[in-house]
Structure 1
C-alpha cells in the first residue's frame, strides 16, 4: 500500500493509502487506511474520521460511499478520510484497544513515544487533523448504548464555534447537540482540533453493534452536504427539518449510574422529556423483582440509553441533557 503523503496528492486524483504508526511485536507495521481525493481547483481541506471506537461501524461504511460519490471534476480542495482509526479495537470489536486498554477518544493529541493508542492519536493529529479546515468525526453509540442520530458541535461566542454550527446545520440531521465549553471533556479528536483552531463537528447514531442503512446514508450524505456548504462541491446542502436541538455537556463518561447489578429495563425512550426525580428505569433480579428504580438526575431530555440488559453496579444507564431555548418541538 502506498504511504499517505498529503503533499504528493495530485490534483484531480483519488486513492487508498496507508498511514504508518509503529512496528508491532510480530515485525509487521501497523498502518491506518486513508481514503483521499484532491480536486483540480484549490479549496478547503476536509478531514473525516471513523472507527475511533472499534465497535462503531456506521462511519466505516459511510466514508467509502461518500468518497466514491465525489466527481473529481467538480471537487475543489481536498478530502482526507480515515475509515478505521483504531484498528486494534476494530479487530476485536471493542470500544478500547485490546493492546494497551486505552480509549483512543481520550488520549488526543497523543504521544509519538507512547503506547499504540497514544501513537495512533499522535499520527491522526499531525497528519490528518492539523492540515484540515474542518474536522468531522463519525461516531455512534457502540455496542453498549443507544443514541439518536445527531450532529454535535461547540456552542460558544467564537468564530470557530460559529463555523462549526453552520457545518452542523448543513450536515442534515434532524437532531443537533450544542456543547458549551467543558474543561472535563479532554482527549477527544475534537479537543485536538479545537486546540489547533480548527472547527469540528461529530455524529452519533443508534449503534448496537450494527450499521443501520438509514444511518449510513445519513452519514455519507452528511459528509457530501458539508462539502457543498464549504464550496468543495457544487449545489446546496440537502437539509432536513430540525426536530430537536439539544444543549448541554455530552460527556458520556458521566452518565446516571446504577447501584445494583441485574437486568436493566428502560421506562423511557430516546429524546423523551423527563423531570428531576422521575422514575425512568429499573434494575431487576432474576425473579423480575425490582432491585433499584433509576431516577432522573435533572430536568431534560434522554440523550443516551444503555442497550445491554445485563448491567453491573456502577455502570451507566442513561445520559440526560438540556434543550436549546426555543428549539423545535419544545413545549
Structure 2
C-alpha cells in the first residue's frame, strides 16, 4: 500500500507572493467519476523565514476560526511578511458546506483522523496530506476550533504538556504569544487526543496550539477577537509579521484538566437544565443541573452533581440529552492539587 498522498494542488509553496486555490481531494461518486473535493488553501510567502500553518474548519459547525482566517488571508500583504503563511480556513470543506461536525461524505471526524490514510476516504486523505505535506513545512501550527452545535466554550487555548522540557517550553511560549484568556495544558490522553492534529504535530516536533473560541454553531464576537489578535501576535512572535503594531496582549491564565472527574456526563435521556454557567467557579458535590424526564413529566427531575471543584470551561448547548453526553468540562489552575 502506497503512503504517497493522492491530494494535489497547483499552489507552489516555494513561490513568493499570494496564491489562492484549492487542494484537490479525489472523490469518485455516481455523477462525478473523476471528481475532487475542493479544499481552499492560501499560501503567502516572501523570501526565506519561518512557516506558520494556520487551520480552521476541521469541524464544519465551528465558525470563529473560519472567519478569522479568511479575514487574515485577505488582509495580509506578502510584502509585509518574512517567511511563509499557509492558511486552510475550511480544512474539512465538506463538513463546512454542510454545517456539520462530521463530513457528510464519509462521516469522518477530521480531528480524530490523524495521521490519516493516503488511500482512505476524503477525511482520512485530508488528514494524511496535512500530516505528510503541510506539517513538515511548518515551524508552528495553529488549529482553531469551537464547541460547534454540541457545546459552548470559554475562549481558550489548548496545548499538550510536551514530550520534553524543550518542547514544553516552546509550547508555553506559543501559548503566551497567542494570549487567550485561558490556556489549558493537557497530556492528550483523553477525548481521542492521540488522533488529533496536535498529536500529529507532536510526533513531528511541530508546536501546535489549538483554540476553542465559542460554540452553539454561532459566532462569538469575543472568540473571534481572541483569534484575530492571537494570530497576529503569534506571527509577530515568530518574526513572520515583524512590523505588526498590535497592542500588547494580556497574560494567559494556565490551567489544566485535573482528571476524568472534571467531565460531567448525562446518565439518562431527557431535557438538560444547567445550574451553572461558563466561567463559574463550582465545588465538588454542587448541583450541576437537572435532567427532566420526557415521557413522565410528573416525576421530579434527576439532579446531576459536580464530582470535582473547578471553573466551568465547557457547557453542553442542546437541552435534549442522552446517556453519555458530556454536560460540563472543568479546569483548575495549573498549581492546584
**Is TM > 0.5 for Structure 1 vs Structure 2?**
yes
The answer to whether the 8 Å contact 2:174/2:234 transfers is yes
- Give the Cα–Cα distance (whole angstroms) in 2 for the partners of residues 319 and 125 of structure 1: 29
The answer to whether the 8 Å contact 2:213/2:224 transfers is no
- Give the Cα–Cα distance (whole angstroms) in 1 for the partners of residues 148 and 68 of structure 2: 16
The equivalent of 1:119 in structure 2 is 125
The answer to whether the 8 Å contact 2:49/2:84 transfers is yes
DSSP 3-state at the match of 2:79: coil
Q: Which of the residues 167, 179, 183 maps onto 1:160?
A: 167
The answer to whether the 8 Å contact 1:282/1:290 transfers is no
The equivalent of 1:200 in structure 2 is 208
DSSP 3-state at the match of 1:186: helix
- Give the Cα–Cα distance (whole angstroms) in 2 for the partners of residues 3 and 96 of structure 1: 27
Instruction: Report deviation, 1:36.
Output: 1.3
- Give the Cα–Cα distance (whole angstroms) in 1 for the partners of residues 131 and 78 of structure 2: 26
The equivalent of 2:86 in structure 1 is 80
1:33-78 superposed Cα distances (whole Å, 9 cap, x missing partner): 1011001x32100001100001111111111211233232221110
Instruction: Report deviation, 1:290.
Output: 4.0
- Give the Cα–Cα distance (whole angstroms) in 2 for the partners of residues 133 and 249 of structure 1: 30
The equivalent of 1:229 in structure 2 is 237
The equivalent of 2:134 in structure 1 is 128
The equivalent of 2:283 in structure 1 is 275
List runs of 5+ in structure 1 lacking aligned partners.
327-331
Instruction: Report deviation, 1:319.
Output: 1.3
List runs of 5+ in structure 2 lacking aligned partners.
1-7
DSSP 3-state at the match of 1:268: coil
- Give the Cα–Cα distance (whole angstroms) in 2 for the partners of residues 19 and 288 of structure 1: 55
Deviates more, 1:212-221 or 1:144-153: 212-221
Please tell me whether residue 241 in structure 1 is matched to residue 250 in structure 2.
Answer: yes
Could you state the TM-score of these two structures normalised by the residue count of structure 2? 0.88
Instruction: Report deviation, 1:181.
Output: 5.0
- Give the Cα–Cα distance (whole angstroms) in 1 for the partners of residues 209 and 247 of structure 2: 17
The answer to whether the 8 Å contact 1:152/1:178 transfers is yes
- Give the Cα–Cα distance (whole angstroms) in 1 for the partners of residues 306 and 273 of structure 2: 14
- Give the Cα–Cα distance (whole angstroms) in 2 for the partners of residues 258 and 32 of structure 1: 36
DSSP 3-state at the match of 1:265: strand
The equivalent of 2:43 in structure 1 is 36
Instruction: Report deviation, 1:232.
Output: 1.0
DSSP 3-state at the match of 2:239: coil
The equivalent of 1:291 in structure 2 is 301
Instruction: Report deviation, 1:91.
Output: 2.0
Distance 1:95 1:67, change over 3 A: same
The equivalent of 1:329 in structure 2 is none
Distance 1:121 1:181, change over 3 A: closer
User: How many residue pairs are counted as aligned between the two chains?
Assistant: 320
The answer to whether the 8 Å contact 1:176/1:246 transfers is yes
- Give the Cα–Cα distance (whole angstroms) in 2 for the partners of residues 290 and 196 of structure 1: 53
Deviates more, 1:138-147 or 1:213-222: 213-222
The equivalent of 1:54 in structure 2 is 60
Distance 1:288 1:163, change over 3 A: farther
- Give the Cα–Cα distance (whole angstroms) in 2 for the partners of residues 249 and 111 of structure 1: 33
- Give the Cα–Cα distance (whole angstroms) in 1 for the partners of residues 187 and 75 of structure 2: 34
